[in-house]
């Protein structure tokens, strides 16, 4: 098949490998979060990562803060008999000259009540910068916005 676009097949192949790696990275990362594996989840961020959400005045910085925030949520959900799933996709991936990746994606959070209903909880846009540390992708900056907030 010589279907590749305007660009050389080699570049198309490299993009294909990168795009799959990005998708696998996010699938694994979000599944760790939803399983309450907070330490392993935080380890997918750089040591000094910055995570900004609209409901906090300042970004959370560093893994200890990330673990603390998500551990709290995990406990609260369990106590409320709820499960959250973060379904992320729609990755718009742009590679910088230095190899860092700008990734803009959509994340839908679903909430289910044990013995009750499942529903859409949040619709979010996620803007990340991914970098390579010892060969593996990590999030160095994450900025999340929510569609229900102005």
CB of 42 to a second copy, least distance (A): 15
Q: Which residues bind a second copy (CB under 8 A)?
A: 1-7, 9, 11-21, 23-28, 30-31, 83, 85, 87-93, 95, 99, 104-106, 108, 110, 112-123, 125, 132, 134-137, 146-150
Radius of gyration for the alpha carbons in the chain, expressed in angstroms and rounded: 17
Structure tokens at 22: 């990005």
Which of residues 73 and 89 has its CB atom nearest to a second copy in the complex? 89
Nearest approach, Cβ of 63 to a second copy (angstroms)?
17
Please identify, using beta-carbon distances, which residue of 20 and 61 lies nearer to a second copy.
Answer: 20
Q: How far apart are the first and last CA of the chain?
A: 47
Residue 57 beta carbon to a second copy: minimum distance, rounded to whole angstroms: 19
If the CB atoms of residues 57 and 150 are measured against a second copy, the closer one turns out to be: 150
Query: Residue 111's closest CA among 70, 78, 83, 80?
Result: 83
In whole angstroms, how close is the CB of 68 to a second copy at the nearest point?
24
**Among residues 24 and 61, whose Cβ is nearest to a second copy?**
24
Q: Residue 115 half-sphere exposure, CB side, CA atoms within 13 Å? A: 2
Q: Which of 149, 116, 141, 146 is nearest to 52 (CA)?
A: 141
Paired tokens of 143: 């900025």
């Amino acid at each position: 098949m010589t279907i590749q676009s305007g660009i050389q097949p080699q570049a198309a192949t490299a993009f294909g490998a990168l795009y799959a790696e990005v998708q696998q990275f996010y699938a694994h990362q979000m599944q760790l979060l939803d399983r309450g594996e907070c330490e392993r989840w935080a380890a997918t961020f750089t040591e000094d990562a910055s995570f900004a959400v609209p409901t906090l005045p300042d970004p959370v910085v560093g893994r200890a803060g990330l673990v603390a925030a998500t551990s709290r949520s995990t406990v609260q959900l369990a106590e409320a008999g709820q499960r959250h799933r973060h379904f992320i996709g729609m990755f718009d991936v742009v590679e910088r000259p230095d190899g860092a990746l700008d990734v803009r994606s959509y994340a839908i959070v679903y909430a289910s009540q044990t013995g009750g209903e499942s529903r859409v909880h949040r619709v979010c846009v996620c803007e990340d910068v991914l970098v390579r540390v010892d060969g593996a992708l990590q999030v160095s900056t994450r900025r999340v916005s929510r569609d229900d907030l102005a």
